[in-house]
Every structure is written in C-alpha cells, then in structure tokens.
Structure 1
C-alpha cells in the first residue's frame, strides 16, 4: 500500500514537473513572440495617448479602458481565431500577410511624417478642443479601436510567425498569453502616461519643496515624453515594416535586398570589434528603415500625393 502511495506521489511529481516545464515553455515562447512585435507595440503605446488629448481629465481613464477592452476583443474574438486557422490550414499565406502588414506599417509611418510636414496631423479630439467643442467620445473610441485592429493584427501575425512550429493547442495558448500580456502592457503604460500630468499637478501644489519640484519636473517632462514616444513610434513602424519586407522577400525567393543588408551587417560587425553586435544591429536597422521609407513613400504617393495633384489640376 505504502509502495503504491509513493508511486502515485512520484507520478504526481513527474506530472507537476512536466506541467511546470510546459508553462515555462509557453512563457518563453510568448516572450519571444512579443519581442519580435516590439516595434508595433511601441507604436501602439505612442499612438493611443493622442486619442484622449483635449478630453476632460475625468474621462481619460474610462476612454482608455473602453479602448483596451475593444483591443482585447479585437485580438481574442477576431484576429486570433483567423490567424490560428490560417496557420493550420493555409500556412503559406503567412508570409504574404506579414508583408502586407509590413507594407501598411511603412505606409503608416511615412504618412505620419508627411502629415506632420503638410500640417494634417490633428486628431478629432484636438480639432474639437480648438473649436471649443466637446469631443464625441464614442467616435474617438471607435476610431481608436479601428486603428488598434490593424496594429493588433500585425502584432498577432508577427507573434504567430515566431511560434508557427508549435502544436496547434500550444500555438493558441501562446497567442492568448501574448494578447493578454501586450494589451495589459500597452494600455497600462498609456494610462500611466496620460495621468502623469495630473500627478505632477497634484505634487506641484503640495507644501513640500521636494514634492513641488518633482511635480513641476513631471509637468515639464510629459510633453517631451509624448513627443519622443511619437517619434519613436514612427521610426519603429518604418524599421519594423522594412525588416518584415526584407525577410519576406528573402522567404519568397527574392534574396538580393536581404543579402545586401546582411552582408553589410556582417562587414560592420567584423570591423567594429567588441561593439560589433551593436553596430551590426544598427546597420540592419538602417537598411530595413531605408527599405521601409522607400516602400512607405511609394504608397503615400499613390494614396495621397498623386490624387491631390490630380484634383488640383482639375480645378
């Protein structure tokens, strides 16, 4: 009897170890997949605070909560099932889909640069605030969720591509973990960012000189942080989109662009000694960004510049 009990306990221990290893594997795979989508995650984090600019501070967190719920719904109810089924029954479509998403990222990044240069980068909330109107929260929320759908789809497809060799159930679990973790991360950071000015204002009104100094520092830093996030987000979109296109072209048999960048990366790596890894990565990033700028500029020209010039000639 005792022997049977010990055997049972031993079996339970083995199962527990296997389960723990499985959890570790899922966590590691989810982490690896999320890192690959880092550029899009940064952009998602940088874009969202713009949607609550011009709103009452009391409405900022409720709006962000609505957008976060919509984002999670996008990922779990629409994007994840479609991506999983596609990877299971038509995996050859993953590379073209990734490249389509990469092209969109390049377009979105270059479009933001073009809008900034042309003076068209104003959000609905900004415009309403300038006119002295109350922004339509439902319109802002639905617009943010639509934008998030594109970014979420790209995040999930990039993540799926990293775990495409996993079994079906593991793939699904990993993507659920990625969806939950990324949504919590992005919108947790966004909530922190948009409320930091309130924290700074509160601290600046306290009696303590130290608190007032910290508060004034936060109030001064937040516009710069948002501006920096916006620039980083645009750069990340162009770089990540270009890199996706580089790898996708190589996978589809057009090896030249990837080879050029890869050879340049190796040459810089070998020539820079101890810092070879850093400078090699930067070389790859610059090469990817150049391709991203080229592709994005072509799409922006087709979508915006050429139609506007045609309309101007007609008038």
Structure 2
C-alpha cells in the first residue's frame, strides 16, 4: 500500500513538473500572439475614440469603461471558449472563419478609404435625426455601436490567438487565450482613455499656475491631438486592410507562398521587406474590399427586391 501511495506521488510530481515546464513557454507564446494581432489592435485603438466625439466630456471615461468591460466579457466568456471548443471539435473551421473575418476587415477598410474621397450629402439628414434624441439615448447608441464593432475585431484577435497555440497543451492554450484577452483589452482601452482625455490634460497644464515650459507643452498638446487623431484614423484603416488581406493570403497556399517568397527575397533588408509586405497586403485588401462591397451591394438589391415582391 505504502509503495503504491509513493508511486502515485511520484506520478503526480512528474505531471506537475511537465505542466510547469510547459507553462514556462506561456510568456513567449503570449508575446508572439500579441505581435500577430498588432494590426487589429491598432485598428481597434484607432476606431474607438470616435464613439465619444460630441458627447459630454465628463462621460468619456465612463463610456470607454463600459465598452472595455463588455469587450473583456466577450473575450473571456464567449469568444475564447468558442475558439477552444471549435478548435477541438472542428479545427478545420478556424482558417475559413479567419478568412471571413479578414474579408470583413478589408470591406471595412475599403469603406473608410472610399469615404475619404466621397462626399456624403446624407450627413445633414443624419445630424438632424441625432438632434431628436436625448444625450442618454445617443450615448447608448454609441456604446452599442462600439460593442458591435469591437466584437468582430475581438473575434479576429481571439481566433488568431488560438491559431498560434493549436499545437500546445490545453493548459497553455487556456492561459495564453485568457492572458491575451486581458492584456489586449487593458492596453487598447487604457490607451484610448489616455487619447480622449489628452486635450483635457493639455488644458490643465496650460494654466498660469504652471511653469511657462509646462504651459507651452499643454497648449502644444491641445493643438496636436486633432492631428494625432486624424493620423491614428489613417493608420487604423491601413492596418485593417493590411491585416485583413494577410489573413486571407495565409489561408490560400498560393498567396501564402508568394508572401513568403517576397519576404525571403528581401530578407537582407528587413525594413524594406516589412514595408513591401504591408503595402502588398494593403493594396490587396483594397481590391478584396472593393469586391466584397460590390457583392454586398448586389445582395442588398436582391434582398430588397425579394422583400418588395413579398410585400406586394
């Protein structure tokens, strides 16, 4: 009995050692996974500030907190478990789902680029409509819209995170997924909170009670933030196209091979290789987004026509 008990303890000890050794790799896996989703993180960070524009400044941090809380809940309790379950029962579905998400990112990126070069006469009508709702209702709409956008980007983040640990033990998969969910959410919405309150910080530092150098910095910060937000919007759009197209490219052997060959051919110039790959993916993302936009337009016309026929 005693020998059997000690043998069991030895087995448990060996299992713990193996698990500990496996978990030692988790920080490296988290770092690798975070790097893979950096493009989507940039886009998420760039998109969110627009949801507090025009609202009461005293409500900005509260609104961001509400969006961040919902984002974290979605990642931890819906998207991460869904990715793990899907990866266990239908691992073949991960790549197609990633590619669909990539197509959506390209579509959104194309819409933003198209919007930069198009006039929108309907803006006046939308503005008039917004005047008829209360600030509380507008805030609820903004939060709901932000959450809808975030859940799509978060789904891409968690799917990519899972795709990086499919060959790892289940404990590592869970640890990496949860760590990425928490880290990404805190990083994105912490930075967004800093961005939206930066002008308030600048106004505070520009007060006469501070040193002239501090006042000058505060005034410069206030003037700089609108330009920074515009730049962030452009960077987010570029990242959306780049990441979306790269996801799709890696799901197709031929295009994955082309990207690999491009990187290998410019391996002696790492920065040039990165720029060439990013530019190629961004241009490809524009093309994919254009095609998806046309398909969506045709689908809307057919769907609308079908509804009209049913109503008749």
TM range (shorter): 0.7 to 0.9
Once the 2 structures are TM-superposed, how far is the Cα of residue 107 of structure 1 from its aligned partner?
0.7
Once the 2 structures are TM-superposed, how far is the Cα of residue 127 of structure 1 from its aligned partner?
3.9
Partner of residue 152 from structure 1, selected from 151, 154, 157: 154
Q: Which moves more between the two structures, 176-185 or 75-84?
A: 75-84
The corresponding residue for 2:286 is 293
CA distance in 2, matches of 1:58, 1:115: 30
| 1:71–1:149 Cα contact (<8 Å) kept | yes
- Matching of residues 18-97 of structure 1 within 5 Å: 21-97=21-97
The corresponding residue for 2:174 is 172
Q: Deviations over 1:89-109 (max 9, x none)?
A: 111111111111111111111
Q: Which moves more between the two structures, 110-119 or 42-51?
A: 110-119
Once the 2 structures are TM-superposed, how far is the Cα of residue 219 of structure 1 from its aligned partner?
0.3
| 1:40–1:237 Cα contact (<8 Å) kept | yes
Partner of residue 230 from structure 1, selected from 233, 250, 274: 233
- Matching of residues 277-288 of structure 1 within 5 Å: 277-288=270-281
The corresponding residue for 1:266 is 264
Given the two structures, how large is their TM-score scaled by the length of structure 1? 0.82
The corresponding residue for 1:191 is 193
Q: CA RMSD in A?
A: 2.9
Once the 2 structures are TM-superposed, how far is the Cα of residue 130 of structure 1 from its aligned partner?
8.3
User: Which sections of structure 1, spanning at least 5 residues, go unmatched?
Assistant: 1-12
| 2:23–2:172 Cα contact (<8 Å) kept | no
The corresponding residue for 1:211 is 214
Aligned length: 286
Residue 172 to residue 139, structure 1, CA distance change in 2 (3 Å): same
Given the two structures, how large is their TM-score scaled by the length of structure 2? 0.83
Once the 2 structures are TM-superposed, how far is the Cα of residue 78 of structure 1 from its aligned partner?
1.2
CA distance in 2, matches of 1:217, 1:122: 35
CA distance in 2, matches of 1:266, 1:58: 51
Residue 58 to residue 121, structure 1, CA distance change in 2 (3 Å): farther
The corresponding residue for 1:249 is 252
CA distance in 2, matches of 1:278, 1:61: 37
User: Which sections of structure 2, spanning at least 5 residues, go unmatched?
Assistant: 1-12, 305-312
